[in-house]
Amino acid sequence: MALVSAVRRIAQVRLRDLCRRSTVAVAVSPGACVTGLRSFTAGTQSLRSDNKVTVNFINRDGEKITVKGSPGDSLLDVIVNEDLDFDGFGACEGTLACSTCHLIFDEDVFKKLEPVTDEELDMLDLAYGLTETSRLGCQICLTKSLEGMVARVPESVSDIRQSNDGTA
Ligand code: FES
């Protein structure tokens, strides 16, 4: 009996610690925290589907392709996950070595994107058809604020890796 009580006490202390660390659950008492954790777990399935971000790609031939991605996914991830066929896109698989993932955004979307890094800027300079609102798709991560965004695929790509080895 004493052993059962000891285990319960340890479990309550651990739960309390977990609740303190969690940004989701607010611990008023150990019981309240457990309820909060349970409802969070039960609700994650619907959260996952509600949390998707709609992305509209305009293909090279002007076709609009609407897909969904998860927050945190890069636009390259979305294109790969949805098996979109943009010829030559994402040749270096997001290692910032090719610029084939060049995308062009509307001004309002462009302003919402995370700041460009020097490494992305260096590679972006080598992209075909660079515009004021160009970015590299492998460096753009989805957030809910980008819901409904439009990304245009430039009419051509230049892969700096091929230029460097003389194959293009
Ligand atoms: S996939 Fe190569 S730079 Fe983005």
Residue 42 pLDDT more than 60?
A: no
The CATH number of the structural domain formed by 53-152 is 3.10.20.30
Residue 98 pLDDT more than 80?
A: yes
For range 116-141, the mean pLDDT: 95
Give the pLDDT of residue 155: 85
Residue 115 pLDDT more than 90?
A: yes
Pocket test for ligand 1, best of 74, 80, 101 (most atoms within 8 A of CB): 101
How does residue 157 score in pLDDT terms, banded at 50, 70 and 90? confident
Task: For the chain, give the mean pLDDT.
Answer: 77
What are the residue boundaries of the structural domains of the chain, listed by start? 53-152
3-state secondary structure of 132: coil
Give the pLDDT of residue 128: 87
Q: Which amino acid is at 162?
A: Q
Q: Using the atom order of ligand 1, give the atom closest to the CA of residue 138.
A: 4
Pocket test for ligand 1, best of 138, 157, 161 (most atoms within 8 A of CB): 138
Distance between Cα 23 and ligand 1 center (Å)? 34
Give the pLDDT of residue 80: 97
Distance between Cα 68 and ligand 1 center (Å)? 20
Which is more confident, 12 or 95? 95
Q: What is the pLDDT of residues 4-15, one digit of tens each?
A: 444 444 444 343
Q: Using the atom order of ligand 1, give the atom closest to the CA of residue 89.
A: 1
Q: Closest Cα to residue 60, out of 158, 156, 159?
A: 156
How does residue 49 score in pLDDT terms, banded at 50, 70 and 90? low
Residue having the nearest C-alpha atom to atom 3 of ligand 1: 96
- What is the CB < 6 Å shell around ligand 1? 76, 90-92, 94, 96-101, 123, 136, 138
Residue 161 pLDDT more than 90?
A: no
- DSSP class per residue in 43-108: HHHHHHHHT-EEEEEE-TTS-EEEEEE-TT-BHHHHHHHTT---TTTTTTTTSSS--TTEEEE-HH
Distance between Cα 72 and ligand 1 center (Å)? 17
Give the pLDDT of residue 112: 97
Residue 27 pLDDT more than 70?
A: no
Residue 28 pLDDT more than 70?
A: no
